[in-house]
Amino acid sequence: MPHGKRAGERCVQLLPDMRCAIFDRPERPAVCANLRPLADICGLNRIEALSLLAAMEVATAPYAVVVLD
Ligand code: SF4
């Protein structure tokens, strides 16, 4: 995504089964490759992770409206 990814925008590399299409490839962004899972961010499961992510999106959004998939 040469112009970046806005909050709530789906990554073009995200496959329908929620895997990364470029996971093992060098063109995977450094921010993704360097991200390490933490309980404070990921929770115990996908539902908790999405809830925590939504809270962070709201807390850091430049606008009052946040669009999530
Ligand atoms: S790991 Fe990065 S490049 Fe891959 S789908 Fe997620 S956001 Fe996109």
Cα 40 to averaged position of ligand 1 atoms, centre (Å): 20
Q: For the chain, which residues make up each domain, given as ranges?
A: 11-37
pTM reported for the whole predicted model? 0.67
Cα 11 to averaged position of ligand 1 atoms, centre (Å): 6
Q: Residue 22 has which token pair?
A: 């470029």
> What does the alpha-carbon distance between residue 37 and residue 43 come to, in Å, rounded to a whole number?
9
31 pLDDT more than 70: yes
Q: What pLDDT is recorded for position 67?
A: 66
Which atom of ligand 1 has the smallest separation from the CA of 12?
A: 8
- Using only the alpha carbons of the chain, give its radius of gyration: 13
Banded pLDDT at 3 (limits 50, 70, 90): confident
Is residue 15 within 8 Å of 21, Cβ to Cβ?
Answer: yes
26 pLDDT more than 80: yes
27 pLDDT more than 80: yes
Could you tell me which of 53, 23, 30 has the C-alpha nearest to residue 41? 53
